[in-house]
Amino acid sequence: MRTLIKGGHVVDSKSKVDDFLDILIEDGKIVEIGKGLEYVNGDIIYADGKYVLPGFVDAHCHLRDPGFEYKEDIETGTRSAAKGGFTSIACMPNTSPVIDNQAIVKYIINKAKQEGIVNVYPIGAISKGLKGDELSEIGELKFAGAVAVSDDGKPLKSSSLMKKALQYSSMFDITVISHCEDLELVDEGTMNEGYMSTILGLKGIPSAAEEIMVSRDLILAEYTKIPVHIAHVSTELSVDLIRHAKSRGVKVTCETCPHYFTLTEEACEGFNTMAKVNPPLRTKKDVQAIIEGLKDGTIDIIATDHAPHHSDEKNVEFAIAANGMVGFETALPLCITYLVKPGHLTIEQLVEKMCVNPSKILGLNKGYIEVGGSADLTILDIDEEFIVDIQKFSSKSKNSPFDGFKLQGTVYYTIVNGNVVVREKVLL
Amino acid sequence: MILKSKDLLGLKDLTTEEIEYILNTAKTMKLIVTSKNKKAPHLQGKSIITLFYENSTRTRLSFELAAKYMSASAANVSASSSSVSKGETLIDTGKTIDMMGTDVVIIRHPMSGAPHLLARNINASVINAGDGMNEHPTQALLDMFTIIEKKGSLKGLKVAIVGDIYHSRVARSNIWGMTKLGAEVCVSGPSTLLPPEIEKTGVKAFNTVQEALIDADVVMGLRIQLERQKKGLFPSIREYSRFFGLDEKRLKLAKEDALIMHPGPVNRGVELSSAVVDGDSSLINEQVQNGVAVRMALLYLLTRRDSNENVN
């Protein structure tokens, strides 16, 4: 099986390629890259006027499988990811049962092989049952195929356990992803603490709740000299703290999500539960700081934190509505519209943050376009405009605050291991 | 004139004209409340439901009497707070009530925004009788009605609201309403009980009660709930009362003819001294009476919309 991609604008951060090139794919691998490649007898994709990029890698999503298949499962989740241009995704362990043992890791990998259409990499739990008491069998998780460990959704309350998690995980060379939140400061908070929480009469979550835990983890990373990855950074001070730690040589990486550089707490107006997410949407100055952090390299990764929820979990009182939003199908256009078009990031930098760096942190041999590399590619038109329609999402869930947004950037092709899974914008 | 929305969810979203219109209508209604024959035909054939997820005596009774004085049929639904997060959803309960031919649903709920959710999902008009920490618009309307009755207008008056502003839906509704009608609103309370960035709503915030009281035309105390002490928001009722309690001596800072108000129920000796509660300047009893008139006005104005059928 051979496929030739002709005439696209190829950008690859690893090999520093930025040119109009043809790419020949055979048996799931890239076999030739060059100008004027000709090939008859096979699939030819004409990519004129479009970017041909390494397949996008999402370091943070929730597939809800096993246990919450009414929200999403591996089939629908990977279809949604493919539609959004992602070829590899790493799913968080807050499933039921929790991904804290080999069996669940293997279940996900096997199910993804059978029903998934993109590469799925499970993230194991740091602590058994995400309870924050004892370490899970991190070595076994790694050998079963987990690419990182995290208690995402919950902070590791105990600083002592966090220190041990870093030390123990480093033995297996597996990244610890930290969800930073001081639950006592969060208390009963449901949105960012500030003017909007005051006028809506909703209890607030102070930005300090995130920043205090970010500080703690940075200190532990510096103390142990072991890398830590901070999930979903949302505040100005978090960005500053991480920037400072990096300048001290701390091995810290971090991610943010599209909603943290596009929306503010004002999206909660009218008790809009679609804008309820954890960490909460912050303020204008935080949004600006996140963009700065992305520009100067403080923030390494843009992840989706794709968090599907059933409409019954959103169509309730704000205080009891579920946290989170689906993200696969809006991430790329949001990055194009809010980061690339205004000139904050180049396409090459975007590739770094959504292909190269996530692959590096998760230890995947992905995120680049080179002969011999796997044929995971995303072809997109960064100029094409469209209106977000949540009803058209391929995800099982439709919880997005971006419904009706006019965005630029359309995925034309998603190619996973040489297989075309999205062709001419249509999911196959 | 007609109210723009089918619902009354809060004073934040009402125009000054709408607020004045409601208050003017309440003047007429007060004549009914104070007359010997409390039966007017305005709501004949209308059905009013109170749906309360929190305990309440005065607000619920006030709405119920308002409906009955105007010949509506009124019924109560009590839902325990514990059934909020389990069991039937608010939307399902609302739709059930809606299908029984209800014209107005009056809801009190411990969660901010619950009336808004209900209003979006049913055809009946929804009146917010208090949602979480968000708004209690009918309380603020009756407070403003009471002040205007005594002072003629709110324009230029200095109103001091003292106590737990953070958790108070009464404070929020009064801030929206009174600033729209031209009052200068000051809030004061322990700094742990003042909401962040409250001054952006157009009020002045003070950590000493004295600053807020100086030359005030109206002083409103808010109820302090003991459970806040357990959450570490203030050390003791004793200390609260020492720094923020309103007694005759402290109230001398306010204007001589200052009006004293409280949404009730009062913790005597905590927010207000008994002498102040029972004193000549206290309007606490008038507030209760005017509450019925204001709620009659609202029920009348909201049900009158039916003839126009421009429910949005």
pLDDT the model gives residue A11: 97
Structure tokens at B49: 């439901």
Q: Percentages helix, strand, coil for chain A, rounded to the nearest 5? A: 35, 25, 40
Q: Do B196 and A198 touch (CB under 8 A)?
A: yes
Q: Is A211 left (phi over 0), alpha (psi -120 to 50) or beta?
A: alpha
Q: Do A317 and B169 touch (CB under 8 A)?
A: no
Contacts of A204 in chain B (CB under 8 A): 196
Which residues of A have a CB under 8 Å from any CB of B? Answer: 193-195, 197-204, 270-271, 312, 315-320
pLDDT the model gives residue B312: 38
Nearest CA of chain A to the CA of B85: how many Å? 7
Please give the residue of chain B at the shortest CA–CA distance from A206.
Answer: B196
Interfacial B residues in 135-164 facing A (CB < 8 Å): 135
User: Closest Cα partner for A232 from A363, A364, A324?
Assistant: A324
pLDDT the model gives residue A38: 85
Identify the H or E element spanning B33. helix B16-33
pLDDT digits (tens, 9 = 90+) for A341-369: 999 999 999 999 999 999 999 999 999 99
Best of B9, B12, B134 to disrupt the A interface by mutation (most A CBs within 10 Å)?
A: B134
Q: Is B91 near chain A, with CB under 8 Å?
A: yes
Return the DSSP state at A391.
G
Quick one: average pLDDT of B262-269?
92
**ipTM for the whole complex:** 0.93
Number of A/B CB contacts below 8 angstroms equals 65
Q: Crossing angle of helices A328-335/A74-83, nearest 10°?
A: 20
Residue B87: band (very low, low, confident or very high) from pLDDT cuts 50, 70, 90? confident
pLDDT digits (tens, 9 = 90+) for A71-90: 999 999 999 999 999 999 99
Quick one: how far is CA A182 from the chain centroid?
22
CA atoms in the 13 A half-sphere facing the CB of B216: 31
Return the DSSP state at A154.
S
Contacts of B134 in chain A (CB under 8 A): 200-202
pLDDT the model gives residue A282: 98
Question: Do A258 and A327 contact (CB within 8 A), yes or no?
Answer: yes
- pLDDT at residue B308 above 70? no
Q: Considering CB atoms only, which of B90, B133, B197 is closest to A201?
A: B133
Quick one: average pLDDT of A104-125?
98
Q: Is B198 near chain A, with CB under 8 Å?
A: yes
**Strand pairing report for A406-416 and A377-387:** antiparallel
Cα dihedral A143, A149, A152, A158 sign: positive
Q: Could you give the percent of chain A with pLDDT greater than 70?
A: 100
Q: Do A317 and B133 touch (CB under 8 A)?
A: no
Nearest CA of chain B to the CA of A394: how many Å? 27
Q: Do A316 and B113 touch (CB under 8 A)?
A: no
Q: Considering CB atoms only, which of A195, A200, A315 is closest to B197?
A: A195
Quick one: average pLDDT of B286-297?
96
- Identify the top-confidence range among A8-17, A30-39, A116-125: A116-125
Q: Do A271 and B91 touch (CB under 8 A)?
A: no
Nearest CA of chain A to the CA of B12: how many Å? 9
Q: Is B95 near chain A, with CB under 8 Å?
A: no
- What positions of A carry a catalytic annotation? 305
Residue A52: band (very low, low, confident or very high) from pLDDT cuts 50, 70, 90? very high
pLDDT digits (tens, 9 = 90+) for B88-118: 899 999 999 999 999 999 999 999 999 999 9
Nearest CA of chain A to the CA of B173: how many Å? 10
